[in-house]
Amino acid sequence: MDKNTEHKPTEVFHLGERQLQEQYGSRQNLARNGERILLPYLTEQHQLFFQALPYVAMASQDKIGRLWPTLLCEKPGFITTPEPNQLIVYVDTDSNDPFTQGLQVGNHIGILGIDFSNRRRNRINGRISRREADAIYIDVDQAYGNCPKYIQQRYLVNETPQSEQSPAPQAFISKILTTRLAEMISKADTCFITSCSRADVIDEHVAPGALGIDISHRGGKPGFIQVMDEKTLLLPDYPGNNFFNTLGNLLHNPVAGLLFLDFTNGYSLQLTGLCLIDFGPVTDSWPVGAERLVQFTINEVIFRKEALPMHCL
């Protein structure tokens, strides 16, 4: 094949991701294989996966730049894929959920399809192409699978879909963690973190679809996230796929959001704030297995009761 016509891989990772891939030794492989891993559409297998889910984690960014993750719950089939590069999420969102503030046409959106029962997860980065009262239309920019590592297995039963619930009670809003909310975090074995790339970072080599909002799962033994004080959390960063989607975003843009769920009582705790990465060196005081630490400083806390219409079997 002539050198001028030889295919050159499309760059699917943005600058922050590439910098950390280089630092930790995964860059060469991902430069060669990235466009075969991160696809601009959903495979048939991924389409079927999303269509069967009774819940999905999603994240948006509000008008002042804060990131908000959430978990939307409905009857299986509430997500459809009319085209491989499009999802439609049929759900009546809770007006008390800050996630709804970012649901404007053209906005980036992060999606994590996760099935706790079999520890399977798939991620989508996309943009809102249309918005209706009971539906969110999303064009896919990137779609890819994630390994089941660190997912705590649980079986959830959807008691009353969000669309059939009575109006949710008013959300509790604060700038700090109360003792009760700190205890909820200290008992958690699961959380979701959302981050986003910075649009003003010059990166002429990357495909447009590589920029946007990510939402990722974090898991460990109860207490794996430390509450340092009423404004500060410490998250261990364990070995993963070495894509560095979340840390690559945070490297240039510290804005982030966290979501904690109480699967017994149906509580939702959403935090928005800023992150600082500690790249080490690792010391004996670090959590066992952590390769990096992420310090999260809280800007706002939103706690909602009756937000999760599910319970664990």
- What average pLDDT does the segment 17-30 reach? 95
Strand, coil or helix: 107 = coil
- For residue 289, count other CB atoms closer than 10 A to its CB: 13
- According to DSSP, the residues that pair with 16 across neighbouring strands are none
pLDDT digits (tens, 9 = 90+) for 287-296: 999 999 999 9
pLDDT tens-digit map of 244-302? 999 999 999 999 999 999 998 899 999 999 999 999 999 999 999 999 999 999 999 99
SS in 3 state form for 108-151? Answer: EEEEEEEECCCCEEEEEEEEEEEEECCEEEEEEEEEEEECCCCC
Confidence at 209, pLDDT banded by 50, 70, 90: low
With H, G, I as helix, E, B as strand and everything else as coil, classify residue 29: helix
Instruction: Say how far apart CA 98 and CA 116 lie, in whole Å.
Output: 24
Q: How much is the average pLDDT of 44-64?
A: 96
**Is 53 a residue whose pLDDT tops 50?**
yes
Handedness of CA 115, 276, 278, 34 (dihedral sign): positive
Express as a percent the part of the chain with pLDDT over 70: 90
Q: Please give the share of the chain, as a percent, with pLDDT higher than 90.
A: 75
Residue 1 has pLDDT above 50, yes or no: no
* Tens digit of each residue's pLDDT (9 = 90 or more) over 27-47: 999 999 999 999 999 999 999
Per-residue model confidence as pLDDT tens digits over 97-118: 999 999 999 999 999 999 998 9
Beta strands in the chain (DSSP E): 55-61, 67-73, 79-83, 86-90, 108-115, 120-132, 135-146, 156-158, 172-174, 190-196, 213-219, 226-229, 232-237, 255-262, 267-278, 292-304, 310-312
CB 222 within 8 A of CB 168: no
Cα–Cα distance, 101 to 257 (Å, whole number): 14
Residue 136 near residue 103 (C-beta atoms within 8 A): yes
Q: Which of 164-168, 217-221, 250-254, 275-279 has the lowest mean pLDDT?
A: 164-168
**For residue 295, what is the enclosing H or E element?**
strand 292-304
Please compute the mean of the pLDDT values over residues 16-32 and round it to a whole number.
94
pLDDT on residue 172: 96
pLDDT-derived band at 167, boundaries 50, 70, 90 = low
What was the pLDDT predicted at 146?
A: 81
pLDDT of residue 200: 66
Query: What does the pLDDT read at residue 3?
Result: 45
pTM assigned to the model: 0.92
What's the rounded Cα separation, in Å, for the pair 114 and 136?
18
Each domain of the chain, given as residue ranges in start order, spans: 15-312
Kindly report the CATH number that applies to the domain delimited by 15-312.
2.30.110.10
Among 217, 83, 88, 225, residue whose Cα is nearest residue 152: 217
Distance CA 290, CA 283 (A): 10
Question: Residue 163: is its pLDDT beyond 80?
Answer: no
Residue 157 binned pLDDT confidence (cut-offs 50, 70, 90): confident
pLDDT at residue 208, rounded to an integer? 67
Q: What is the pLDDT of residue 10?
A: 74
Distances in Å between the Cα of 39 and the Cα atoms of 1, 12, 230, 247, 306 are 25, 9, 40, 20, 36
State yes or no: pLDDT of 137 exceeds 90. yes
